[in-house]
């Protein structure tokens, strides 16, 4: 299934539905499996409730959430009505009955083998849930305080009939909630939502401000209030229209080795200890669909989502670092591991200031190993432009900044220590004033009038050339 999924994704193909998945022992599973839901930028944008051409508008909205400003008069207040309406749509509606609880298994009836969880790669240690929205809340909060919930996409390894391993890194919201419960000697209630609507799933992956709940923000994307229902065995509210919900309690102290699994780096990660989940219930719709994906060397669905999120993040980044003109996270570099940034350069040392600002701005950029800064005449998403800037505007002895012992993704085994590694920043901008003691060269360019004349001349004499 993974091989078929990857082949279709690489061709820009459709969503796939496997009606009769087979288990490892050859028996047939009852639940169909859905993959490649976010296998194109158009489908990711649709899941966010916009077209590809309007991703910038959603990015502006996300930037406004981070730095809201007071309206400047009645006209400005009225112009903000779409944002105000979106905020109202984040208020959840609590239901007493829901499709996701049409079938309920509790206690001895719980069996994770009823869900066709894939083993994606031949080196994987076992089945891995890859597209869950994991819901948690902090210790001391109330069940109805949805604004305090965290929704994150964390993979979960099937350990047995009623046990999972929850892999969340220490800086993630779910891990922080787990620490708050564990420090009080209590297990953490958790709901693992599979087959949530695209708005909820993508909200869980968006780099939202910490003050904005992913679960409630999905209402603004969807254009409708989130419908939630109390879980059966844990004190949490869960999406009413999800396909499947796995309820349970995360142990405050019991750990188990998670992995190895094939990961987005294109390598298998090593086994590491993570908390064990005791599953207390599985609820689902009467005829549920199991949503799955694989992670591997790009292209994969997370890489495609990352390309879209790159566009969404740009307005937020510009609000904090105004001189940035454009930014590209190359998908082939596992998205966030490398960033190419174009700036409107005005003073010496500006490129280095931008590097340090990016590394400290969002949690995602704390894992960016390489930042290349170029001038705004360079297309940061064009490898030829980048190579030219590196070859003609960068000196390795002067324009390279190396940092040591900085935070890094645990999955990066190139790091000398788990979670700790170096970073490199490369200034590939034109050097000005005190940055150089030499006269800097002038960029060659065709006269615009000559270029226009040439295109007209060629079009008239070689009409098929530009077709």
Q: What is the enclosing helix (H) or strand (E) of 455? A: helix 448-461
399 a catalytic residue: no
| Torsion angles phi and psi, residue 189, rounded to 5 | -70, 140
Determine the straight-line distance between the first and last CA of the chain, rounded to whole angstroms: 40
CB 191 within 8 A of CB 149: no
Closest residue by Cα to residue 165 from 238, 254, 235, 105: 254
Residue recorded with tokens 């719980």: 110
Residue 12 falls in which region: left (phi positive, over 0), alpha (psi -120 to 50) or beta: left
Residues 6+ away with beta carbon under 8 Å from 138: 148, 176, 177, 180, 181
Q: Tell me how long the chain is.
A: 467
In what helix (H) or strand (E) does residue 202 lie, and over which residues does it extend?
helix 198-205
Q: How far is CA 328 from CA 223, 265, 336, 338, 362, in A?
A: 29, 18, 9, 8, 15
Residues 101 and 232 sit within 8 Å (Cβ to Cβ): yes
User: H helices of 12-80, where?
Assistant: 41-47, 55-66, 73-79
| Kind and range of the H or E run holding 35 | strand 33-35
The label of the residue with tokens 């796995």 reads 246
Q: Are 229 and 283 in contact (CB under 8 A)?
A: no
Catalytic pick from 124, 197, 263, 409?
263
**Token output for 424:** 């490199």
Nearest alpha-carbon partner for 294 in 98, 4, 86: 4
Which residue's entry shows tokens 């500006």? 350
**Cross-strand partners of 191:** 135, 247
Which are the catalytic amino acids?
263
């Amino acid at each position: 299934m993974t091989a078929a999924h990857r082949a279709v994704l690489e061709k820009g193909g459709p969503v796939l539905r496997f009606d009769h998945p087979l288990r490892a022992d050859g028996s047939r599973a009852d639940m169909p499996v859905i993959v490649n839901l976010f296998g194109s930028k158009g489908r990711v944008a649709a899941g966010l409730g916009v077209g590809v051409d309007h991703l910038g508008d959603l990015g502006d909205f996300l930037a406004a959430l981070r730095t809201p400003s007071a309206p400047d008069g009645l006209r400005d207040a009225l112009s903000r009505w779409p944002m105000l309406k979106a905020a109202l749509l984040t208020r959840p509606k609590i239901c007493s009955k829901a499709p996701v609880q049409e079938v309920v298994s509790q206690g001895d009836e719980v069996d994770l083998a009823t869900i066709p969880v894939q083993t994606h790669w031949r080196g994987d240690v076992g089945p891995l849930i890859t597209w869950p929205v994991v819901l948690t809340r902090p210790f001391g909060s109330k069940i109805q305080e949805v604004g305090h919930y965290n929704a994150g996409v964390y993979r979960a390894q099937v350990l047995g009939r009623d046990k999972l391993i929850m892999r969340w890194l220490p800086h993630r919201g779910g891990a922080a909630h787990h620490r708050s419960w564990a420090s009080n000697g209590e297990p953490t209630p958790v709901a693992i939502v599979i087959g949530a609507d695209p708005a909820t799933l993508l909200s869980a992956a968006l780099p939202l401000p910490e003050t904005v709940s992913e679960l409630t923000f999905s209402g603004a994307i969807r254009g409708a209030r989130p419908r939630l229902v109390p879980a059966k065995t844990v004190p949490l509210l869960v999406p009413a229209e999800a396909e499947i919900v796995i309820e349970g309690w995360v142990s405050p102290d019991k750990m188990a080795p998670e992995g190895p699994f094939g990961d987005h780096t294109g390598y298998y990660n090593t086994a590491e200890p993570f908390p064990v989940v005791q599953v207390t219930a599985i609820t689902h719709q009467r005829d549920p669909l199991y949503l799955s994906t694989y992670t591997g060397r790009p292209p994969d669905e997370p890489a495609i989502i990352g390309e879209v999120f790159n566009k969404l993040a740009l307005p937020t980044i510009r609000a904090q670092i105004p001189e940035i003109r454009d930014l590209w996270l190359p998908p082939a570099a596992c998205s966030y591991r490398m960033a190419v940034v174009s700036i409107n350069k005005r003073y010496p040392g500006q490129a280095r200031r931008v590097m340090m600002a990016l590394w400290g701005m969002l949690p995602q950029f704390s894992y960016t190993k390489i930042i290349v800064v170029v001038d705004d005449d360079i297309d940061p998403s064009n490898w030829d432009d980048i190579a030219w800037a590196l070859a003609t505007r960068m000196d390795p002895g002067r324009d390279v900044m190396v940092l040591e012992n900085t935070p890094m993704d645990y999955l990066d085994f190139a790091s000398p220590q788990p979670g700790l590694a170096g970073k490199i920043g490369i200034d590939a901008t034109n050097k000005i004033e005190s940055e150089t003691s030499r006269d800097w060269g002038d960029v060659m360019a065709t006269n615009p009038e000559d270029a226009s004349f040439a295109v007209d001349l060629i079009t008239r004499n070689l009409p098929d050339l530009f077709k």
